[in-house]
Structure 1
Amino acid sequence: MDISAPVTRPPDLYGRPRIDSFMQKLAAFSDNAVTRLARRSTPPRRPPTPEEPVIRELVVAAKHQEAEDVVSLRLAAPDGASDGSSDGGMLPPWQPGAHIELHLPSGRKRQYSLCGDPADRHRYRIAVRRIANGGGGSAEVHDALGEGMRVAVTGPRNAFPFAAEASVLLIAGGIGITPILPMAREAVRRGLDWRLVHTGRSRGSMPFAAELAELAAAAPGRVSIRPDDESGAPEAADLLSVSPAAGAVYCCGPAPMIDGVRRAFGDSRASALHFERFAPAPITDGRPFELQLGDTGRVLPVPHDRSALDVLHEALPDVPFSCRQGFCGTCRVRVAHGHVDHRDRRLTTTERAAGAMLPCVSRAPEGERLVLEV
């Protein structure tokens, strides 16, 4: 077809070379009628609203001692808790690296990595280490939650997704094995080139030893267990030395271990680093500022090396919190006046503009005073 040729109108119903006026009016009437009908039948469009987290009630189907000061909980839907066979007990799916938020009877909320089998749609498994000087959440799980008790849960969510690169090194420190164990099983299932290193104070303190032994037996040479009291605390460069060439590294554990791996990563042969902390990162670039508690006039100084949440929690012990890393949103407060240096990974631009702040990570410029609605 010659696209440069002039376009001519076809003759109308009567063979005339011009548009028939009657048909033109009829088409216009039809178009207007359809438009009016569409306007009546189509509901007005509303701006999207943030998805509210779904809270579901689960039952503690089993509780086991996994290591010194570590217990695991298997959580199931109440109508499927007895044998896990009820279709009504199906739980939302999850992928390695995901976590749930546990709503404890006291009102505390704590986040724990899922460490079971993603193929098991009837039960979630989490593991909790007792923290002697913590905020009380771990002690409550150990001492107050028993088999048969019901507990509210939100999630799963995933802030530490496993991308399943062709070659991976999985590094876990202590209880940091919880998100790493499902990743190792996924690596086996996908036939990846993988290695796993689990470190800890002693064998007795390292959870899931039996499961890791089974994994090691099925994949000789790929699993390394390194208790500090047997081989000494490992250097980060030593841990990274077993990474496959151009492999991705997934690391979870205590903050010093993660910081060491991050510093040594540049000299390793690995190609990417993914990590998740179980404790907030140290504040390295903070500046002192102040919090004012509403109209009370009470002013709380926030030093350069402490978070606003730490200071706020000392003054108001009932202030809720969970992840302490700026992604769960539990500690949200509203700022009535003052400029916030937002450092979270949760709030939208609209929420920030409305005054929302996550004091676990966000701060203010030096000398600034934030007036909170409390």
Structure 2
Amino acid sequence: MKGVAVDRSGMEPVSTDSAGALDVAFLGYGFMGKAHANALARLPMFFPDAPATNRHTLVGRDEAALADAAARLGFDHVATDWREVVADVDVFYNLGPNHLHVDPTVAALEAGTHVLCEKPLAPTIEGAARVADAAAASDAVAGTAFNYRFLPAIQYAKRLLDAGELGDIRQVKGSYRQDWLADADAPWSWRLDADLAGSGALGDLGAHTVDLVQYLVDDVVAVSGNLTTFVDERETPAGETKPVTVDDAYSAQAELANGATATLDASRVAAGHENDHAIEIHGTEGSLRFRMERLNELDVKRPGSRGYETVLVTGDDDPYGDHWWPPGHVLGWEHTFIHENDAFLRAVAGDEPFRPSAADGLDVQRVLAAIEDSDARRAWVDVDR
């Protein structure tokens, strides 16, 4: 394995008992790097049957920051070129900015290395198709990291829907609202550049909503979408003014394959909403609703009841409940990554396929592309599959 060893002098040593463990490399050590490194560190404590991993190599550009991050996140080596790493580890986590999702992921899959790539799978539909094609041609596991599938409340909702307890699904509403750009003086970042991010609220937030709708209910087959940018330029922390070339908010009407209708929206300028992802599903026999800001709860309207009951999804027999605390001791956002990594690594070990796959990531990208196309054409657009 190529890479520079991390100096751990003066630091608590990482366990060296890694016989038979999967060598793992991360591209990226920011927000998602911390989330996934924390998940790998916690897995042996709470999911002891999960395949063992060795955090081997951390990849990034800034050598000084990289060495510090590797020490904090528990990696043994660092590298500044992903090309020197992807073929020499068992598992590659692509946690870099959106514009770096395609080439490293494709190269890893072509080398037979298992890949978990953060969402969206690519900034463009063409890039997502490249990843999905590489995954189809490889024997390696290729996953798209839609971590919200792994919330206990969402898994509970999936059980209800698969059992038909809500009857035939008629309507779906999904929204994702944040406020980090509500202030017109909020600084510019790479997420506001179409070349680096692909899209704004649509791809950053809407991708999660589209994935949950298609996972819980059915495929989106047609859309009518609208994208809006409210602030056209922002200053960088260095004082340079740069244009904003992505959307601040989107909304869409959608038709699902089962005949249901859906209303979808997302915003990064919704004051008072820090990370408010919500979904409602209405059927002929009942309904359910979920909000990320109360992520341990699911509101369910069952047949014969006068209204919703709030289910605290923390019991021993609830999804993942047997791995965690006594009932009522709630979980958090970070636990979704632990659940996700358990499922992914089990797939790597050959236990069962991993979903969401690269093909699932491409399916989401097709819907996002159709919403963009609809906005440009000011017309309903069929999702091209």
So what's the TM-score if we normalise by structure 1?
0.26
Which of the two has higher C-alpha Rg? 1
Larger RCO of the pair (alpha carbons < 8 Å, separation 6+): 2
So what's the TM-score if we normalise by structure 2?
0.26
Richer in helix (by share): 2
